[in-house]
Structure 1
Amino acid sequence: MKLYNYFLPLFFGLYSITSVAEVSVSGNTITVQGKLLNADADNLVELMNSNSISTVVFKNSAGGEWRAGMRIGNFLAARNITTLVEGVCASACALSFLGGEKRQFSRAGQAPILFFHVPYSASEQTTIENLKPAFFSWIESRTKRKIDPIFANGIDSSLSVRGGVFFFSSKDPIVKSQGGVTQICKGNEFRIPLDCEKMEEISALSMGIVDSD
């Protein structure tokens, strides 16, 4: 099933994604929004070290730097933290999200979307293929299971920053009406719409990326 009209307004229109990270504390919860850079990783570490934090919410982040995503993810993995995704959590944000000991789709606010793709060089407009083994290894280490071949093939066939694997919550009413808790999308920075197909064989839950839906 081609879902051109489903993805574009959902990912690029209905969700307000800030380009600069905003990190805020409320009680025992930190909320991270926007683009993740190394300075934001430093800020998050400082806030967690100075507050009693049990939950980190990743909200409407289109990604950021590979190194920042991995730094945040590894830092969270060393603690007993719950991570939630609200709205879009893509690229470096999805790597950070995996650092949670418990990982869940949020029931608050905008419907959650997790988006994974191969590390990408914006300056060279190409994927960074030599980081792919580390990308798969990080997912396997957090999910405690081997990468599903369908996921690997989807990643391998999506060679742009826009192409990759999207995971949705089965509780999302839009997903229920238009189909597919998982979408594998192809495309590039200059060609829209994306070419997306639903993939019923895998989900964030079946892969262990989230532990409850």
Structure 2
Amino acid sequence: MKLRTFLIGLSIAYSSALNASVVRDDDKLLIEGKLLNSDADDVVELINEHVIHTIVFKNSPGGEWRAGMRIGNFISSKNITTIVEGVCASACTLAFLGGDKRKFSNQSNAPILFFHAPYSADNQSTIENLKRAFFSWIEQRTKKEIPVQFSDAINNTISARGGIFLFSDDDPIVNSSGGSITQICKGSEIRIPLDCEKTDSISAVSLGIINEK
């Protein structure tokens, strides 16, 4: 029950999120909120002007595809560690994958990654011609072939709320709901999150998305 309540709260947060806050603390960037192209500009500028070793993505509902890919591509050659604290969803996951080392946070906010197909808010539909780039970026960064279960889950979702939730294996919500570390959700606007299925057959670690403890 707690997991269902959590997912409902998460879907509400998507619609109310503000633009991102990008803050530098010594050699660390903290990025929180919705990613726009202007936020990508800020990230590029800060990394060009300062030595940045770590980027923490905290409670980002996603944002613009181009912003996520710009950040991810830019940091991919910078030997930067990326960390998820709280929720990192949609475009945030694209940016997160740019990290050389990618971790779940060990802080109090339970870390969660949420992947879904490229989606147009204007047309309320999946952007089919970006799916190839989406899968290619994941494989490029993880150096692993995407398993059929992952690609099928992405291809079968029917809204931006459908996709794959990847939890930390020590997440208290997961542990209280039977121990499954992945939720695959179709994304029906009527049945959120009643159409989600638990699985342990894929995880952030097995997929190579998380590659460092």
Shorter-chain TM-score category? over 0.9
In the alignment, which residue of structure 1 is the partner of 2:22? Answer: 23
In the alignment, which residue of structure 2 is the partner of 1:162? Answer: 161
How far 1:51 sits from its partner (Å)?
1.2
Q: Give the AA of the match of 1:182.
A: T
In the alignment, which residue of structure 1 is the partner of 2:196? Answer: 196
In the alignment, which residue of structure 1 is the partner of 2:207? Answer: 207
What is the distance in 2 between the residues matched to 1:58 and 1:205? 18
What is the distance in 2 between the residues matched to 1:186 and 1:3? 19
**TM-score, with structure 2 as normaliser:** 0.92
Q: Give the AA of the match of 1:152.
A: S
What aligned pairs does 1:94-133 form with structure 2 within 5 A after superposition?
Answer: 94-133=93-132
Q: Deviations over 1:49-74 (max 9, x none)?
A: 11111000000000001011000000
Q: Give the AA of the match of 1:207.
A: L
What is the distance in 2 between the residues matched to 1:205 and 1:72? 22
| 1:4–1:195 contact (8 Å) kept in structure 2 | no
Q: Give the AA of the match of 1:201.
A: S
* Distance change in 2, residues 1:157/1:64 (3 Å): same
* Distance change in 2, residues 1:4/1:103 (3 Å): closer
For structure 2, list consecutive stretches of 5 or more residues without a partner in the other structure: none
Matched, 1:71 2:61: no
* Distance change in 2, residues 1:98/1:79 (3 Å): same
How far 1:168 sits from its partner (Å)?
0.3
How far 1:100 sits from its partner (Å)?
0.2
Secondary structure of the 1:118 match is: coil
How far 1:27 sits from its partner (Å)?
1.3
Q: Give the AA of the match of 1:88.
A: V
Q: Deviations over 1:132-176 (max 9, x none)?
A: 010000000000010011111111111210000010000112111
* Distance change in 2, residues 1:3/1:127 (3 Å): farther
User: Cα RMSD (Å) of the superposition?
Assistant: 2.0
How far 1:109 sits from its partner (Å)?
3.2
Q: Which shifted more, 181-190 or 145-154? A: 181-190
Secondary structure of the 2:108 match is: coil
What is the distance in 2 between the residues matched to 1:145 and 1:65? 25
How far 1:189 sits from its partner (Å)?
4.2
How far 1:14 sits from its partner (Å)?
9.0
In the alignment, which residue of structure 2 is the partner of 1:175? Answer: 174
What is the distance in 2 between the residues matched to 1:48 and 1:109? 27
What is the distance in 2 between the residues matched to 1:85 and 1:10? 18
Secondary structure of the 2:192 match is: strand
* Distance change in 2, residues 1:177/1:193 (3 Å): closer
How far 1:9 sits from its partner (Å)?
4.6
Q: Give the AA of the match of 2:62.
A: G
How far 1:108 sits from its partner (Å)?
1.2
How far 1:212 sits from its partner (Å)?
3.1
* Distance change in 2, residues 1:66/1:204 (3 Å): same
Q: Give the AA of the match of 1:111.
A: A
How far 1:4 sits from its partner (Å)?
6.8
What is the distance in 2 between the residues matched to 1:126 and 1:25? 35
In the alignment, which residue of structure 2 is the partner of 1:39? Answer: 38
Secondary structure of the 2:31 match is: strand
Task: After the TM superposition, list the runs of 4 or more consecutive aligned residues in structure 1 that deviate by more than 3 angstroms.
Answer: 12-15, 188-194
